[in-house]
Amino acid sequence: MIPQIIKTFLDSDIGYSFMKSKVAIISSVIFFTIVLVSLLAVIISPYNPFDPKNVSLMDAFTPPIWSVGGSVDFLLGTDQQGRDMLSTMIYGSQISLIVGFSSIIFATFLGVFLGVTSGYLGGRYEIIVMRLTDVQLTIPSILMALLVDGIARGFISKSLHDDMAIYVLILAIGISEWPQFARITRAATLVEKNKEYVLASKIIGLSDIIIMLKHILPNILRPILVIATIGLSQAIITESTLSFLGVGFPPTNPSLGTLIRFGNNFLFSGEWWITFFPAIFLVILALSINLLGDWMRDALNPKLKVR
């Protein structure tokens, strides 16, 4: 079954363009490796950095292995609390990826639902939805996420907020991203809905729900997939930014952004690795997704298709 799917994929035009693009292959290998490693964090990472018995202040500020004072026990050194950098990073990327994926899935569902229905049904409903997206696009996504986070803080207490940080962030980022999906799906829906195969379905008498689900949606998946990919890297960056600004994940449960935030305090005193490694890791993650998205945009764009 799975070899079958891979075979059909490689036979298709997209598969061909994938195999021809070194960038696409390399970036997807990197991306899926990171996803795999972070999924298997419990097995792969050298330590569990949140288990107090693995952490000793004695080990704090150990530099990476190749520097003077480095230790074989901590490949990439330790942070101010003596936690192994590599392990905290693996666990941190797990959090970043969970938030990234969940918020994008949330934004995709909301945006695609509103985009398809408003584009297809039209009328007053469409006007309201599009005005709403216009207004929200007035507010840049990072600001929107900050506002949602701020409002959540108004309703729940500080300690509860730390525990619920993951849900608050998914909500905040998801809400800040959906208008893009709504706009693009609506535009694509407007194109599809006037195509003759949709008219033919209407003439047969198929219901609107069936037409939207079975006919329109499968035909607009490509642009949605492209913006979802690029949106994923944006979501991961937004999460790390919020954490860096101190309104995301608490130090007890750090994401990559939180690690950078605290490492930043030690930049001037020379402990560069505490900031540097999580930052590089974050950039590689975002870059691999962006490269993949960039390739996808070209490969899935019928206009640029090379015969």
Applying CB under 8 A, the residues found at the interface with other proteins are: 16, 126-127, 130-131, 134-135, 137-143, 146-147, 149-151, 153-155, 195-197, 199-206, 215, 218-219, 233, 237, 240-241, 244-247, 257, 260, 264, 267-268, 272, 275, 279, 282-283, 286-287, 289-291, 294, 303, 306-307
Minimal distance in Å, beta carbon 244 to other proteins? Answer: 5
Minimal distance in Å, beta carbon 158 to other proteins? Answer: 10
Q: Is 7 or 131 the residue whose CB approaches other proteins more closely?
A: 131
Minimal distance in Å, beta carbon 94 to other proteins? Answer: 18
Minimal distance in Å, beta carbon 47 to other proteins? Answer: 25
Q: Is 149 or 177 the residue whose CB approaches other proteins more closely?
A: 149
Minimal distance in Å, beta carbon 217 to other proteins? Answer: 9
Q: Is 52 or 302 the residue whose CB approaches other proteins more closely?
A: 302
Q: Is 59 or 234 the residue whose CB approaches other proteins more closely?
A: 234
Q: Is 121 or 139 the residue whose CB approaches other proteins more closely?
A: 139
**3-state SS string for the chain:** CHHHHHHHHHHCHHHHHHHHCHHHHHHHHHHHHHHHHHHCHHHHCCCCCCCHHHCCHHHCCCCCCCCCCCECCECCCECCCCCEHHHHHHHHHHHHHHHHHHHHHHHHHHHHHHHHHHHHHCHHHHHHHHHHHHHHHHCCHHHHHHHHHHHHHHHCCHHHHHHHHHHHHHHHHHHHHHHHHHHHHHHHHHHHHCCHHHHHHHHHCCCHHHHHHHHHHHHCHHHHHHHHHHHHHHHHHHHHHHHHHCCCCCCCCCCHHHHHHHHHCCCCCCCCHHHHHHHHHHHHHHHHHHHHHHHHHHHHCHHHCCC
